[in-house]
């Protein structure tokens, strides 16, 4: 059994990030403990605590890499000045080759992660699926009237972040203005500010004399936090360049672009004040000896470190995600497909089997559970541990008792 499958306390706690990203800050706010557990140090593990890789996240990464290549190469292309040049460029762009290569690289990285479900990733992250997402997003962004004026002038810049990087805005009111080409279309702009200490990468910015449009590509479903992220990016753009944001767009595959409108200077200033307060709170939590838990049924259900979060296993807010010993007694034969939940078992009343163990029933006829565990998750002796936390397992009736069933997403952690 790999050291990962042993439940351990961190050797040392996590440190706050030097610069917060939108995602990092939101993750800390959602549950400081989760972020801390994921970023703490574990001497028994070679690197960071590994998380399972989702097919959706891998698809999103592949499409973002392809969009970045497309934007940068288009900005360097001589076709930007030709009428209809974008169509010709789109046809010539080697999208299949780029998607294949990125998919191969990301699958290769995932192979080093013991929690990655390789068969599921290989089946669910298809080259054709990624290409179709890419084409849809390119059609929506580069066919968008918001960019027509900039496209028509042929004013394109790539890698503007190299000129904007290292920008320091000590105070929002005293920010230094940067020279930004206008009108222009700027792909993949990385921005960083010192107060509050934040950074972010905007997928595409179209600058015009009347104000700028910020565009974010999204490969998943719309979520309320996308609007919040766009507010933060508008703030970063304004804090670094002093330029007004006239439009914020979110582009989703197979949907009309979501237009979130302008942000006034007063709104941007308020955003800055809010961000400072949020970062101060996040810093305080991350630096504490044991950051607080924030339960949310759905989030805890998919939390990738819930095996390390003692509170999860007893909280009423998470009860629907967990099996109990009483559930085991209620299973009836032929009950259909199993449900997948988590189960914690105290090992004192278990009997070891070659392939796992049997949990003995309670004295008055409680159900026994036969737990067969796949070899990679199996402890050499159940006597060495007090409990085992099983993630995403099913229970099915099995004659007099109940049998544990396993899926490709199931895992066992021993404590
Ligand atoms: S299980 Fe829930 S409360 Fe515990 S760390 Fe994860 S998200 Fe936070």
* Tokens encoding 315: 């909280």
* Residues 261 and 380 reside in one and the same domain: no
* Residues 403 and 269 reside in one and the same domain: no
CA angle 110, 114, 119 (to 5 degrees): 60
Q: Which of 19, 46, 283, 63 is nearest to 168 (CA)?
A: 19
Q: Specify if 306 maps to a domain.
A: no
State the DSSP code for 12.
B
Q: Specify if 298 maps to a domain.
A: no
* Distance from the alpha carbon of residue 390 to the mean position of ligand 1, in angstroms: 16
Q: Specify if 45 maps to a domain.
A: no
* Residues 151 and 139 reside in one and the same domain: no
Ligand 1 touching residue 313 (CB < 6 A): no
* Residues 158 and 258 reside in one and the same domain: yes
CA–CA separation, 126 and 123 (whole Å): 7
Q: Specify if 400 maps to a domain.
A: yes
* Distance from the alpha carbon of residue 294 to the mean position of ligand 1, in angstroms: 6
| Ligand 1 atom index nearest CA of 293 | 3
Q: What is the model's pLDDT at position 245?
A: 93
* Residues 81 and 121 reside in one and the same domain: yes
Q: What is the model's pLDDT at position 100?
A: 97
b/e code 356-387 from CB counts within 10 Å (16+ = b): bbbbebeeeeebbbbbebeeebbbeebeeeee
| Ligand 1 atom index nearest CA of 309 | 4
Q: What is the model's pLDDT at position 174?
A: 46
* Residues 100 and 181 reside in one and the same domain: no
* Count: domains in the chain: 3
Ligand 1 touching residue 295 (CB < 6 A): yes
CB-CB contact of 377 with 7 (8 Å): no
Ligand 1 touching residue 263 (CB < 6 A): no
Phi, psi of 188 (to 5 degrees): 50, 70
CA torsion angle 60 61 62 65 (round to 10): 120
* Tokens encoding 252: 């989703």
Q: Which residues contact 339 (CB under 8 A, 6 or more apart)?
A: 394
Q: Specify if 239 maps to a domain.
A: yes
CATH (domain of 367): 2.40.50
Q: How far is CA 35 from CA 15, 28, 375, in A?
A: 10, 6, 30
Ligand 1 touching residue 299 (CB < 6 A): yes
* Residues 211 and 139 reside in one and the same domain: no
CA angle 23, 29, 31 (to 5 degrees): 105
* Residues 403 and 349 reside in one and the same domain: yes
Residues of the chain with pLDDT under 50: 145-154, 165-174
CA torsion angle 228 230 234 239 (round to 10): 60
Pocket test for ligand 1, best of 292, 295, 413 (most atoms within 8 A of CB): 295
b/e code 98-135 from CB counts within 10 Å (16+ = b): bbeebbeebbeebeeeebbbeebbeeebebeebbebbb
Residue 211, Ramachandran bin (φ over 0: left; ψ between -120 and 50: alpha; else beta): left
Q: How far is CA 59 from CA 99, 223, 292, in A?
A: 10, 17, 32
By residue count, the chain amounts to 415
Among 143, 165, 194, the domain boundary falls at 143
- Hey, whose CA ends up nearest to atom 5 of ligand 1? 34
Q: Specify if 198 maps to a domain.
A: yes
Among 143, 160, 185, the domain boundary falls at 143
Residue range of the domain that includes 223? 147-290
Ligand 1 touching residue 303 (CB < 6 A): yes
Among 111, 143, 175, the domain boundary falls at 143
Q: Specify if 307 maps to a domain.
A: no
- Hey, whose CA ends up nearest to atom 7 of ligand 1? 300
Ligand 1 touching residue 309 (CB < 6 A): yes
Q: What is the model's pLDDT at position 363?
A: 55
* Residues 227 and 258 reside in one and the same domain: yes
Q: What is the model's pLDDT at position 313?
A: 97
| pTM (predicted TM-score) | 0.84
Ligand 1 touching residue 31 (CB < 6 A): yes
* Residues 159 and 99 reside in one and the same domain: no
Phi, psi of 163 (to 5 degrees): -85, -30
* Residues 82 and 123 reside in one and the same domain: yes
| Ligand 1 atom index nearest CA of 31 | 8
* Residues 161 and 281 reside in one and the same domain: yes
Q: Specify if 308 maps to a domain.
A: no
pLDDT, tens only, 108-158 = 999 989 999 999 999 999 999 999 999 888 887 776 544 444 444 445 555
Q: What is the model's pLDDT at position 315?
A: 96
CA–CA separation, 130 and 143 (whole Å): 20
């Amino acid at each position: 059994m790999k050291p990962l499958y042993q439940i351990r306390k961190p050797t040392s706690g996590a440190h706050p990030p030097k610069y917060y990203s939108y995602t990092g800050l939101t993750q800390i706010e959602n549950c400081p403990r989760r972020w801390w557990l994921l970023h703490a140090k574990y001497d028994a593990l070679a690197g960071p605590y590994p998380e399972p890789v989702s097919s959706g996240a891998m698809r999103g990464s592949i499409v973002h890499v392809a969009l970045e290549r497309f934007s940068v190469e288009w900005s360097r292309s001589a076709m930007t000045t030709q009428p209809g040049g974008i169509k010709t460029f789109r046809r010539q762009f080697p999208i299949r080759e780029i998607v294949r290569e990125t998919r191969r690289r990301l699958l290769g990285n995932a192979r080093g992660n013991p929690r990655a479900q390789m068969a599921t990733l290989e089946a669910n992250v298809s080259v054709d699926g990624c290409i179709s997402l890419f084409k849809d997003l390119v059609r929506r962004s580069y066919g968008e009237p918001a960019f027509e004026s900039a496209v028509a002038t042929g004013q394109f810049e790539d890698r503007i972040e190299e000129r904007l990087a290292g920008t320091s805005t000590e105070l929002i009111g005293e920010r230094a203005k940067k020279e930004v080409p206008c009108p222009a279309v700027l792909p993949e702009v990385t921005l960083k500010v010192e107060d509050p200490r934040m950074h972010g990468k905007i997928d595409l910015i179209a600058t015009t004399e009347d104000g700028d449009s910020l565009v974010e590509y999204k490969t998943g479903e719309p979520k309320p936090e996308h609007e919040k992220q766009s507010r933060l990016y508008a703030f970063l753009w304004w804090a670094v360049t002093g330029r007004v944001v006239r439009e914020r767009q979110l582009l989703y595959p197979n949907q009309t672009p979501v237009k979130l409108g302008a942000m006034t200077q007063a709104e941007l200033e308020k955003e800055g004040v809010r961000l400072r307060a949020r970062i101060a709170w996040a810093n305080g939590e991350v630096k504490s000896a044991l950051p607080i838990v924030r339960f949310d049924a759905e989030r805890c259900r998919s939390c990738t470190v819930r095996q390390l979060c003692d509170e999860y296993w007893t909280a009423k807010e998470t009860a629907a995600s967990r099996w109990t010993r009483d559930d085991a007694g209620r299973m009836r034969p032929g009950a259909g497909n199993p449900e997948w939940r988590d189960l914690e078992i105290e090992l004192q009343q278990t009997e070891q089997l070659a392939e796992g163990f049997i949990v003995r029933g309670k004295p008055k006829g409680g159900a026994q559970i036969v737990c067969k565990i796949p070899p990679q998750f199996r402890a050499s002796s159940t006597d060495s541990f007090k409990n085992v936390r099983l993630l995403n397992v099913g229970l099915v009736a099995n004659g007099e008792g109940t049998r544990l069933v396993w899926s490709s997403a199931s895992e066992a952690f021993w404590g």
